[in-house]
Structure 1
Amino acid sequence: MAKQRALGADATLLCAFETVYGTAPDGSGGGVYSKMSFKSTALGAEQPLGYDALLGQGRDAQDPHYEPVTVNGDMVVPVDLRGFGFWLKALFGAPVTADNGDGTYDHVFTSGGVIPSLSIQTGFPALTVPVFNMVSGAKLGGFQIDMARSGPVNATINNNIGQGETSAATTEDAAPAEYILQRFSQGSGSIKLGGAQLAAVTAGSITFSNNLEAVETIRSDNRIDGADEGEATAEGSVTLRYSSDSTVRDAVAAQTPVAMEFGWSIPGGEGYALKLTLPRVFLPKPKASIDGPGGISAEYNWRAASDPVAGYMLRATLTNDIESY
């Protein structure tokens, strides 16, 4: 039975890469769009009201005016074995894929290139009169992944910019492609420094940004001309318990960059894994604070830079059973 009120449980998220910026691909043939799993989305258009008071009109408020339309918002998605490759392509560009010959494929995504644009449809199909909002010309600004001891791994895809939004009563693709969901677990995560597993890590995070800039030209349709990629950056933190292991302290004292890797795997999954490799990371010297009789921790807020030898700042390697993205 159709519903009068929208529920998040009924919502759908369909995505497709655009051939022409700002033009949503025609999904009438089915399978053009991919149905994506998500935890939340705030991507959409908004148009606030502005106010410019005039004198001589009395004390009561006058008409407001409409400010320009902006299309932006963050999304939270699962870091999973197959679907996350779609998001990585949107964040970094198309990967270089290698067939391992055993039914698995290595997809290598590298930062610093030109990223594609997307059309992203948020749908409420269970309503009495269904509503499907299509954001076109969307580019993804970056992501943040926090590491913990337990739970599934999620990524916040943030600082996204779209060109425009339209609404329709029917979906663009009634038979979208769909990735089989298999999530990475925090319990399978690891952080390596110089190729060796870091000891006594209690928390960690990695943040990547494309530093997008909206091209806000004067147009009668109230849309932007595009979103340009700025300097790609990567930074984050690792929190360690003070111990006899001096790996990080030695790296800090040397004031030389080190290689860092964040990774997750699927136990018994034929080598299925996701690795985020940063070949040149700088570590600061944190203040050593003693706050009580318990264990002492230190948080290192690191920053990555481009490696002229490796030729990249950040590389994501996803090993799964998907032939191509």
Structure 2
Amino acid sequence: MQAKGSKGQLILAYETAYGQTPSPASTVKLPFNKNTLTAKQTLTEAQTITGRRDAAVPVRGKVDVNGNLVVPMDAKFIGYWLKAMLGDPATTGSDTYTHVFKPGDSMPSLVLEKGFTDINAFTLYNGCKVNQFSLSLGGDSELTASLDILGAKETLGTASFAATPLDLPLVRFNHFQATVEENGQVLANCTGVDLNLGFGLDGDIYSISGQGCRTAISEGPLQVSGTVEVLFEDQTLLNKAINGTESSLKITLTNGDYSFELLLPEIVYERTSPGIESAKGILISLPFKGYYENNAAETSIQATLVNDVASYAME
């Protein structure tokens, strides 16, 4: 029987030590749209002279665990990815909880298991970290986020390592539930926002005793960037870009009592004046960079998630 993507499964757990599966594992079953996480090991042609014209046995190289996950933007599961990127949140409340995430000095490493449940084939990836996060707002499609993953090693199995993973109901956010504020004011003429978070992971750390696997994945400086697209009704944002005027950006998604907020307290726009490409209305797209210098939140990015999940500790 051929494995079907519709029967795929994604399990997450946080490692207590890099590259080691926690035991007993506290796990969660996550929804996803796409999972291309794989391990690759190159074969290099050997140059050894054997006295024959036949090719020598090829040399096996390093193991490269990497791939992309596309996940739905939702009010509950996104907290596990926020913890993977930014660390443990500060959580307050009862019944309804507010989780505030800010980037720390390090990132937790993950166990991610890709399951082909219809043929009892499971692939466990240790030492995983999020290298990049991307979110695009605007349009009429399903609202999803993209995560690029680096990992250490791959282990094949015929049964899942997660006996009873936590399985929560999915509460989606949609494009029409978004609000964008620029410098504290609602940006009513905004047609789209692209946001990219880069975590600068070093994927080139392979020690001699590591059996060809990554023995560490160190974090680099956080990179916050994106693009704001608005109707070209005046030159307000363009003037900010020309003058290098500091601003801020806040994206809020709301579904009933649940909400997700991304705050960029300090941004500056890149100067990009609009062209005229057709007889239709003109849009202006302004790239931006986020940073921390002296804002009250003391961070370059802050994510606030309000839901009924009491904790993301998973201990």
TM-score class, shorter-chain normalisation, is over 0.9
Residue by residue over 1:206-260, the C-alpha shift from the partner in whole angstroms, topping out at 9 and shown as x without a partner, is: 000111102222225222221000000110001122114x441342243221011
Identity of aligned residues (%): 28
* TM-score, structure 1 normalization: 0.90
Q: Is 1:145 aligned with 2:135?
A: yes
Q: Is 1:232 aligned with 2:217?
A: no
Give the AA of the match of 1:15.
L
The residue number in structure 1 matching 2:250 is 261
Residue by residue over 1:157-194, the C-alpha shift from the partner in whole angstroms, topping out at 9 and shown as x without a partner, is: 01x22111111111112221112101100111122111
The residue number in structure 1 matching 2:7 is 10
Q: Is 1:186 aligned with 2:172?
A: no
Of residues 40, 50, 61, the one that matches 2:34 is: 40
| CA distance in structure 1 between the aligned counterparts of 2:39 and 2:242, rounded to whole angstroms | 48
Give the AA of the match of 1:183.
R
Q: Is 1:81 aligned with 2:68?
A: no
Give the AA of the match of 1:260.
L
Give the AA of the match of 1:237.
T
Contiguous gaps of at least 5 residues in structure 2 = none
The residue number in structure 2 matching 1:173 is 162
| CA distance in structure 2 between the aligned counterparts of 1:47 and 1:213, rounded to whole angstroms | 18
Q: Is 1:204 aligned with 2:190?
A: no
Q: Does the CA-based 8 Å contact 1:27-1:173 persist in structure 2?
A: no
The residue number in structure 2 matching 1:313 is 300
The residue number in structure 2 matching 1:299 is 285
Contiguous gaps of at least 5 residues in structure 1 = none
Matched residues, number: 310
Q: Determine helix, strand or coil for the equivalent of 1:265.
A: strand
Cα 1:203–1:54 change in 2 (3 A) is: same
Q: Determine helix, strand or coil for the equivalent of 1:219.
A: helix
Q: Does the CA-based 8 Å contact 1:27-1:172 persist in structure 2?
A: no
Q: Does the CA-based 8 Å contact 2:75-2:259 persist in structure 1?
A: yes
* TM-score, structure 2 normalization: 0.93
Residue by residue over 1:129-177, the C-alpha shift from the partner in whole angstroms, topping out at 9 and shown as x without a partner, is: x11111011111120001113233211001x221111111111122211
The residue number in structure 1 matching 2:208 is 218
| CA distance in structure 2 between the aligned counterparts of 1:6 and 1:177, rounded to whole angstroms | 24
Q: Does the CA-based 8 Å contact 1:43-1:71 persist in structure 2?
A: yes
Per mean C-alpha deviation after superposition, the further-off stretch among 103-112 and 132-141 is: 103-112
Give the AA of the match of 2:97.
Y
Residue by residue over 1:25-49, the C-alpha shift from the partner in whole angstroms, topping out at 9 and shown as x without a partner, is: 2357xxx210000111111211111
Q: Does the CA-based 8 Å contact 2:206-2:212 persist in structure 1?
A: no
**Structure with higher strand content:** 2
